[in-house]
Structure 1
Amino acid sequence: MMPHVAHDSRTYRRRSALAAALLALLAIGAGPDRPQAVWAVKDREARQPQVTIAADGRVYLAFGSGNEIRVASSDDGARSFSDPVPVGTLGMLALGMRRGPRIAAGQGAVVVSAIGGAGGGPYGGLSAGDLWSWRSTDGGTTWSEPIRLNQIESSAREGLHAMAGGPQGQIACVWIDLRNNRAHIRGVLSTDGGATWGPEILIHQSPEGPICPCCHPSVAFGPDGSLYVMWRDAISGARDMYLCRSLDGGKTFEPSQKLGLGTWPLEVCPMDGGAIAAGPERQVTTVWMRDGRLYSADPGQPERLLGPGVQGWASWGPSGPFLTWLDRRPGRLLELRPGDTEPIELFRSANDPSVASSINGQGPVVAAWEAGPGGSGIFVARLDEPGDHDAE
């Protein structure tokens, strides 16, 4: 159960009035087709929210505030959240442009990862940076000491990584590695819910030089344990998305394949990496941006234009893949549900959205995002049960 927090009645009324006013200004009201936003974290410094859903249905929300990593949780299906709990602090916590903490659940544990270092680099990267993980076995109340995941010191200084939980409690973490000043994808795996981690794995190195260095990688497990990794490469002057798959739990990976039929000649990094939704029977859908337009593509199939947009995210829910994106950064937050042909608007001004569901595709599908511009905290919404509850 979430801890009870006592509030002065006047403070409670003021907060409730402020929440109602903000939602009236920014959110689309609940209705038969539109989920209602919940103001989950009332911290103007809260950034880069990420969500995971444990096997028992509990929802965990990770984010950064200053140099501190924090986690809030919900035991009522993301209708309300506990006060955030501090996980750890890193010097120069990497935040912004999809940098920030990641969270996954497995084997009764919750695992958080984040990158921190020293000095500001280009686009929010670091002059030095390492990838760390923390673990909780009591529902996010207390957290372990951090474990460094990259073996070569400061090789994760670009500040971009991804993490996912698997059906047997596996945890996979991948990042853009800059050892030898050549951006490529490395990863580590845990088979015990983040208590220990295996050795580094070289997942992909571009044949011509560095991959696109400022677009975050993505990782997802399928319900059968298959593992998928996606990144933006830089080959022959084009910045296209590529996907690879492992069928042996991440020990080996099949050759990578380009996603979609089109290509994007571009000399600079667009800073937008997309996401993977992995479903049953090895079904996979990806969402990503090309030249200011958002596309969805299954491996080996032509891409499908969703519309103008950036910062796509995807997760496989009970009825298929749920997709979210912004029409601009910051901008309107849009959602496309399984079987729909047109998106609906979730929020009028948002940034850095993400969406998550449980690994077995059952239970809630939850989106989280920053309010923008200027920020007023983090909002969440249930995407699988639209219009069935009110924000508090």
Structure 2
Amino acid sequence: MPYQLLTSLIYWFILLSDTPPVTLLAAKGYHPVVCTNPQQAVEVVYGLGNQIYYTYSSDQGRTYTPAEVVDTLTDLFLVAQRRPQIASSQQTTLILALNKAGNIFAYVRDKQTGQWTKRISVSDQPDVAKEGFVSVAAGPGNMFYAVWNDLRGNAKNKVVGAWSVDGGKTWSANQVLYQSPDGPICPCCSPSVAIEGKHVYITFRNALAGSRDIHLLTSSDGGQHFGQPQKLGIGTWKLEGCPMDGGGVAVASPGQIITAWRRENRIYVAEPGKPEREVAQGGKNVALASNASGNYIVWQADGKVWAITPGHPVPVSLGSGAFPRVAALPHSAVCVWETENGLLATTLK
């Protein structure tokens, strides 16, 4: 379909619906991920074939730059939520990507020059991240923390992490943060990470005593040491299999952590140590962002992308699509997702 025709169709769809206005990020592409940075810019990474693309918005998501190719990575992992990830500090933008052999690579963009580094190894053993899941968050200064599912040592998936204090150019030795006593953690569910000062928060789906529940790991020293994992919510999900759905974690306010995740066919939000709260029936592939206004929760169900925003607890459809991701600005959030006709973005109030 010609680009101009597709743009026109999207424009008329907006006029005839109650959904927020959408922007076409790319006519072709898969699995976009969005972040925001201290300059209140919006940055997006996505893939197409073996190519990693990057685009950004300096006007809080109203317009985006033409996408640029960051790298061509042979056998780029780009399927079923396995995708490049992005985070941004005051000085640098960091993209992490995996190949299907199970190796994690970093790409660092200097914000002064706009130039990207060549690929940098993050995983310090070869072929250990074969499930293809990694998450990354920016911390104070030019610090980043990455976490992923890793097979090292015993060929059983476990939670492994590493940090960088120079914007992603060099990485610490990889650390095993948790191994389920029953064997692997839930292998096909992505971990998530959020940072507040020296506190690093990681959520992952465990496989423990026949249940597949979301657990939280917490560090108070920048990710160098973590305590024991804490199960989130009161209920449990007895499941002989992997739901392929990891959920998300965010800092809602100083010292307040919020999580969103799926159990069976329901979407929940929960704070550590408190009962979970159901927010929607049906859905999967949950993502979460938070700011002073409240929480922004997005997911997919029935071939559409749905959102809950601060002050509006009833889910609203953003249109057809799948695999949404969301990132918070000071008074809004930006959601990106994948459709059959391209990648879309919208601003949630």
Same fold (TM over 0.5): yes
Map of 1:333 onto structure 2: 305
Map of 2:191 onto structure 1: 217
The separation in 2 between residues aligned to 1:83 and 1:140, in whole angstroms, is 17
Unaligned runs of 5+ residues in structure 2 are: none
Matched-pair contact (CA < 8 Å) for 2:41–2:59: yes
Q: 1:337 to 1:167 in 2, by over 3 A?
A: farther
Map of 2:81 onto structure 1: 98
Q: Secondary structure at the match of 2:79?
A: coil
Count how many residue pairs are aligned between Structure 1 and Structure 2.
347
Matched-pair contact (CA < 8 Å) for 1:28–1:345: no
Q: Write out per-residue CA displacement over residues 35-90 of structure 1, whole angstroms, 9 at most, x where no aligned residue.
A: 211111121xx111111112112211100110111101111211111111111121
The separation in 2 between residues aligned to 1:320 and 1:140, in whole angstroms, is 35
**Equivalent residues in 2 for 1:136-155 (5 A)?**
136-138=109-111, 141-155=114-128
The separation in 2 between residues aligned to 1:252 and 1:357, in whole angstroms, is 28
Map of 2:343 onto structure 1: 378
- CA drift of 1:23 comes to 4.8
> Is the counterpart of residue 291 in structure 1 residue 264 in structure 2?
yes
Q: Secondary structure at the match of 1:158?
A: coil
The separation in 2 between residues aligned to 1:133 and 1:29, in whole angstroms, is 42
Matched-pair contact (CA < 8 Å) for 2:87–2:138: yes
Map of 1:389 onto structure 2: none
- CA drift of 1:161 comes to 0.9
Q: Secondary structure at the match of 1:343?
A: strand
- Residue from 218, 237, 249 that aligns with 1:245: 218
- CA drift of 1:270 comes to 0.9
> Is the counterpart of residue 71 in structure 1 residue 45 in structure 2?
no
**Equivalent residues in 2 for 1:345-364 (5 A)?**
345-347=317-319, 349-357=320-328, 362=330, 364=332
Matched-pair contact (CA < 8 Å) for 1:220–1:276: yes
The separation in 2 between residues aligned to 1:258 and 1:144, in whole angstroms, is 39
Matched-pair contact (CA < 8 Å) for 2:253–2:292: no
Q: 1:72 to 1:50 in 2, by over 3 A?
A: same
> Is the counterpart of residue 227 in structure 1 residue 200 in structure 2?
yes
Unaligned runs of 5+ residues in structure 1 are: 1-10, 118-127, 385-392
The separation in 1 between residues aligned to 2:129 and 2:94, in whole angstroms, is 18
Map of 2:68 onto structure 1: 85
- CA drift of 1:97 comes to 1.6
The separation in 2 between residues aligned to 1:251 and 1:278, in whole angstroms, is 19
Counterpart residue identity of residue 169, structure 2: A
Counterpart residue identity of residue 64, structure 2: F
Counterpart residue identity of residue 256, structure 2: Q
Matched-pair contact (CA < 8 Å) for 1:85–1:141: no
Q: 1:40 to 1:145 in 2, by over 3 A?
A: same
Counterpart residue identity of residue 272, structure 2: P
The separation in 2 between residues aligned to 1:229 and 1:29, in whole angstroms, is 41
- CA drift of 1:138 comes to 3.5
**Equivalent residues in 2 for 1:155-304 (5 A)?**
155-179=128-152, 180-222=154-196, 224-304=197-277
Matched-pair contact (CA < 8 Å) for 1:62–1:71: yes
Map of 1:121 onto structure 2: none
The separation in 2 between residues aligned to 1:270 and 1:133, in whole angstroms, is 28
Matched-pair contact (CA < 8 Å) for 1:114–1:133: yes
Matched-pair contact (CA < 8 Å) for 2:192–2:204: yes
| Higher mean displacement: 196-205 or 155-164 | 196-205
**Equivalent residues in 2 for 1:112-151 (5 A)?**
112-117=95-100, 128-138=101-111, 141-151=114-124
The separation in 1 between residues aligned to 2:57 and 2:182, in whole angstroms, is 46
Give the CA RMSD over aligned residues: 1.9
Counterpart residue identity of residue 115, structure 1: L
The separation in 2 between residues aligned to 1:316 and 1:99, in whole angstroms, is 23
Q: Secondary structure at the match of 2:245?
A: coil
Counterpart residue identity of residue 314, structure 2: E
| Seq. identity, % | 34
Matched-pair contact (CA < 8 Å) for 1:110–1:139: no
The separation in 2 between residues aligned to 1:279 and 1:227, in whole angstroms, is 14
Q: 1:344 to 1:167 in 2, by over 3 A?
A: farther
- CA drift of 1:324 comes to 0.8
Map of 1:50 onto structure 2: 33
The separation in 2 between residues aligned to 1:335 and 1:174, in whole angstroms, is 26
Matched-pair contact (CA < 8 Å) for 2:3–2:27: no
Matched-pair contact (CA < 8 Å) for 2:253–2:291: no
Q: Write out per-residue CA displacement over residues 107-135 of structure 1, whole angstroms, 9 at most, x where no aligned residue.
A: 41101000003xxxxxxxxxx22000000
Q: Write out per-residue CA displacement over residues 3-40 of structure 1, whole angstroms, 9 at most, x where no aligned residue.
A: xxxxxxxx9xx744431213545x58576xx4211111
**Equivalent residues in 2 for 1:308-319 (5 A)?**
308-319=282-293
Matched-pair contact (CA < 8 Å) for 2:293–2:331: no
Matched-pair contact (CA < 8 Å) for 1:107–1:193: no
